[in-house]
Structure 1
Amino acid sequence: MCSEESTRAECAYAACGRPGDESAPPSFQVQFSQLYFTRLMQLRPHIARAARAQCCDSHVAPDGDGTSGGSAASPGAPSTHFAQRILEARRDAVSNVLIGVAFRSMIGKPSILAEYAAQEQNGTSLVPRPPQHSAHKYEQSASDTVILEDETSRVTLDLSHFSGPTVVSGLVIGVRGSESLISKGTFVVQDVIFPGLAPQPPLSSTGDVKGFRKTVCLVSGLNFEHKTSSTSQTLALNMLHELLMGNVGMHTSSAQIARLIVLGNSTAARSEQDKDAEYVRAVQRLDSFLSGVCASLPVHLLPGPSDPTSLLMPQLPFHQSLLKQSAMTGRLHREMNPSFFQLDGATFLCTGGQSVVDFLKYCPDEGASAACAMDQMLQCRHVAPTGPDTVPVQPLSAKDPFVLDETPRVFVAGNQAEFSTCLVQQDDITCRCIGIPAFSEKPSAVLLDLDSLEVNQIDLSV
């Protein structure tokens, strides 16, 4: 059997720090708007550089800050003016480049104010509850508006002439265009400028002393309940366990599996009727399954919206008092959501997937995949752009922990509707994006080759 230590492939693990480690503790006494302005400060320089690179005829002030001072018309007016702030846009320029945070107003988006008003009208108190993670997209209408905002002011954007990627709430973007001659206060956008991919550190090759090709197994959405799972679900879990142990006729492939990464929603969502004892049994069933896997290989466990930890991203790891059987093996790694770590020198960015699911709700294209959304997130250098608007996040004001300072080599999101993947390549940057479906809905496991970044989805449904 390949579960023996002498035949199991191994890969080196290194923690890369946790999101929010360098930030001040969250304070619920401050407004969430501070997070948007912090995000703007972090990403503005990158967008300014990208904008100047795209506009060959840019007009930059001698001090290099992107402003030219004053707004009066002059014979030497620039063809493209880079405004340091929205209020500094020049009407005499052929076009202006503005940088700010986008906000998309849609009638179908969840609204805490609307919910509060409904509760007040019904005479009931507003009880905090987890967001309802529906697969339905946010309803769009002709009355929807997109607003760009910075520290000084805001302006309504007319995106009817732009056919590029969807602009979702919370993105820090640059827009090139001019003020509408028909509707004052509206900025007609000709092009949207994103920060672009963050730098990627060189891959350090460690090599496998045992000569194995090494793969990582990825699953999500195990959704253990307090009661016994259905027959098909139980058989699928047994198939997953046998795959990891090498007992299903795939001895060679299983021997190459160096680690298992579980990407959120390992326990089923708790309803208001569930008793504490029932929820504890669900965690115990998860512990029993993971302890069997940890006996053979290391497991990285990320929380999701339905797991017993904080709801706000970055989600804290499973508490040390939980999963004691698995912890006794010494091979259980409790990760945050999102989480950064290295395997054999390759940086992994793993998430429970709620930010990707919410991102897709803004996209009008029904065929948009999770991998495509993740590609755009990399281009925007942000893991959860729609938070805190429609994704619950911690009110961190010193630094936005979701801004990407470097591009990972592997970006994985769990609990997606379908399996999807794409390889993002630009210059010397390579990143594999993978969307993993929930195991309880579509039983499958994804094997990722650490060397070639090739992926293989294994169907475990019975």
Structure 2
Amino acid sequence: MSSRKATVEQNIQDNLLVYPSEEKDEEQDIKRPLVRWEGTRDFILEDRSYQQQFADLYFIRLLKLKPPLEEIAAEAWNKLEIHGEKVIHSPRVLDVRQGQLCWISGTIFMELPLKPNILDDLAKENYSETIVDKYTETVCDDINLEDESGRIRLTGTGLVGELLVTGCVVAVLGSETADGEFDVIDMKFPDLAPQPDLPDISERQGRSMILVSGLNVTGDEEGQMELELLLQYLTGELCGPSDQEEAGSITHLVIAGNSLCQQIIDESTPEQKLKPKRYGYDPNTYNPKPTQYLDEWLSSILPSLPTTMLPGELDPAGYALPQQQLHPALLPTASKFSDLHYVTNPWAGDIGGIKVLGTSGQNLEDAFRYIPPADGDVRLDLLERTLRWRCVAPTCPDTLWTYPFNDRDPFTIEESPHVYFAGNQPSFGTREVVGPNGEKTTIIMLPSFAETKQVVRLDLETMQATPLRFAV
């Protein structure tokens, strides 16, 4: 009897206990390649002063981008003849002579009917912030080019089909008309900045990066299932060995803004009006669930996956760009992990030798408001244009709030990244942008996870981005 019992116990141990236990240990032991992480301090505000004027930012941008822009324009136009007339360079806008074929450079300024104007807002008796989807309903016919000497209005066929926004620096070829306008026949941009080499392919083979934005964590049960599926995918617990192997290839997670859901409270209701408030704020309306859930969610990922976290428009960070890092006290448990990197928005960094530049999407959304509805959804084209303009947020400070820099323009791109993304977009989009000297940048529009249930997987070997959907 005892011999039979021992045999049964041995069979149970062999068939039920040992094998599943070994597989479980194997599933939990995800070995990820270690990669170097380094973030720049370009967008960090060390000392803040709001006494200076915003106009300095435009002049600094023009001063910085003029040399590479004029080098491209001179190479293209200085030896050009049109109908027997040689093209000349006019150093300043005010030096342009009527009828003379020339090229000039400067900063674009667009007058649009629905564009916000702070002076008009202050003149109103009752100020109220109005956010519009578009600054214009038709093609803009009031486009100006300005430099330190003055401003001239642009017209002509060279503007047809061009995507332009206030703040981008361009060079235009043409001549001044009798009306004092500049008739444009061609246009040049600074184009992609010089780019460092990618790491050797042996260092990138079999590695990937996950980028996500717009988690919009509410802390409620609704919407948690998709977040749990994403968590299981990142930790290798979702399905079988193939998924575990894929999870093991992920070297980094980037969260691009709007991680927390915006809490909307109708202050006009009788209940809210009658509530006692301290300094105009009702502390009882604070909901800790979103931050608690996000803290737990990140704490489950961070032991095995380094994470970079940008603030977004809806997150508890400053509204003006560049948004500064989220405070570690917001996520006390997750903040204990050294592999959680709180960064600015925009942010530039180095992940395993791959240069990454990205935003949480405000720069792209504001630029898109300059484009008339008839042009359709050209967000991906605009994202490429910001790269060719060498300016992450050209509409700062005209229509996009920013800190009034007077000694530098952090939004200018001095080094082309290998990866360039914008978060919280309505849909996924990607393409490879090629520069004049062989620079190659993968640009990515990250869809809002709350709206699309999608994240983006970037294959670091091929530098190709693909969307992954998590839905039940």
Q: TM-score, normalised by structure 1?
A: 0.86
CA gap 1:337/1:101 in 2 versus in 1, 3 angstroms: same
CA gap 1:107/1:456 in 2 versus in 1, 3 angstroms: same
* Alpha-carbon distance, 1:306 to partner: 1.0
CA gap 1:168/1:159 in 2 versus in 1, 3 angstroms: farther
CA gap 1:393/1:4 in 2 versus in 1, 3 angstroms: farther
Q: Distance in 2 between matches of 1:31 and 1:24?
A: 18
Segments of 5+ residues of structure 2 without an aligned counterpart are 1-23, 268-280
Out of 420, 424, 430, the residue aligned to residue 429 of structure 2 is 420
Segments of 5+ residues of structure 1 without an aligned counterpart are 60-76
SS in 1 for 2:333: helix
SS in 1 for 2:411: coil
Q: Distance in 2 between matches of 1:434 and 1:276?
A: 39
* Alpha-carbon distance, 1:107 to partner: 0.8
Residue 220 (structure 2) aligns with: 228
Q: Distance in 1 between matches of 2:205 and 2:283?
A: 45
Residue 361 (structure 1) aligns with: 369
CA gap 1:429/1:105 in 2 versus in 1, 3 angstroms: same
| Identity among equivalent pairs (%) | 31
8 A Cα contact 1:352 1:415, kept in partner: yes
* Alpha-carbon distance, 1:312 to partner: 1.2
Residue 331 (structure 2) aligns with: 323
Residue 57 (structure 1) aligns with: 79
SS in 1 for 2:211: strand
Residue 171 (structure 1) aligns with: 168
8 A Cα contact 1:203 1:345, kept in partner: yes
Deviations 1:45-77 (A, max 9, x none): 111111111115269xxxxxxxxxxxxxxxxx9
* Alpha-carbon distance, 1:160 to partner: 4.4
Residue 242 (structure 1) aligns with: 232
Q: TM-score, normalised by structure 2?
A: 0.84
Q: Distance in 2 between matches of 1:28 and 1:215?
A: 42
Residue 218 (structure 1) aligns with: 211
* Structure-to-structure mapping, 1:298-337, within 5 angstroms: 298-337=306-345
SS in 1 for 2:103: strand
8 A Cα contact 2:141 2:155, kept in partner: no
Pick which of 407-416 and 320-329 moved more.
Answer: 320-329
Q: Distance in 2 between matches of 1:139 and 1:88?
A: 31
Deviations 1:118-176 (A, max 9, x none): 3x1x4xxx58x7x84x6x33323467411111111111111444334311111111111
CA gap 1:342/1:115 in 2 versus in 1, 3 angstroms: same
Out of 178, 181, 185, the residue aligned to residue 190 of structure 1 is 185
Residue 432 (structure 1) aligns with: 442
Residue 403 (structure 1) aligns with: 412
SS in 2 for 1:283: helix
Residue 139 (structure 1) aligns with: 136
SS in 2 for 1:333: strand
Deviations 1:361-400 (A, max 9, x none): 2223544343322111111000001111111111101010
Structure 2 letter corresponding to 1:86: V
Structure 2 letter corresponding to 1:10: P
Q: Distance in 1 between matches of 2:202 and 2:47?
A: 39
Residue 38 (structure 1) aligns with: 60
Which structure has greater helix proportion? 2
1:100 aligned onto 2:106: yes
Out of 233, 245, 250, the residue aligned to residue 252 of structure 1 is 245
* Structure-to-structure mapping, 1:22-37, within 5 angstroms: 25-37=47-59
CA gap 1:104/1:229 in 2 versus in 1, 3 angstroms: farther
Between Structure 1 and Structure 2, whose CA radius of gyration is higher?
A: 2
8 A Cα contact 1:412 1:434, kept in partner: yes
Deviations 1:168-213 (A, max 9, x none): 11111111111123x2x211111121101100012233845xx961
Q: Distance in 1 between matches of 2:86 and 2:102?
A: 8
Structure 1 letter corresponding to 2:449: F
* Alpha-carbon distance, 1:116 to partner: 2.5
8 A Cα contact 2:78 2:88, kept in partner: no
Q: Distance in 2 between matches of 1:315 and 1:322?
A: 16
CA gap 1:113/1:366 in 2 versus in 1, 3 angstroms: same
8 A Cα contact 1:81 1:89, kept in partner: no
Structure 2 letter corresponding to 1:82: H
1:371 aligned onto 2:380: yes
8 A Cα contact 1:19 1:314, kept in partner: no
Deviations 1:10-36 (A, max 9, x none): 242332412245x88443112211111
Structure 2 letter corresponding to 1:194: F
Deviations 1:290-345 (A, max 9, x none): 11111221111000111111111111011132211111122211011111111221
Structure 2 letter corresponding to 1:256: S
Residue 10 (structure 1) aligns with: 33
8 A Cα contact 1:300 1:334, kept in partner: yes
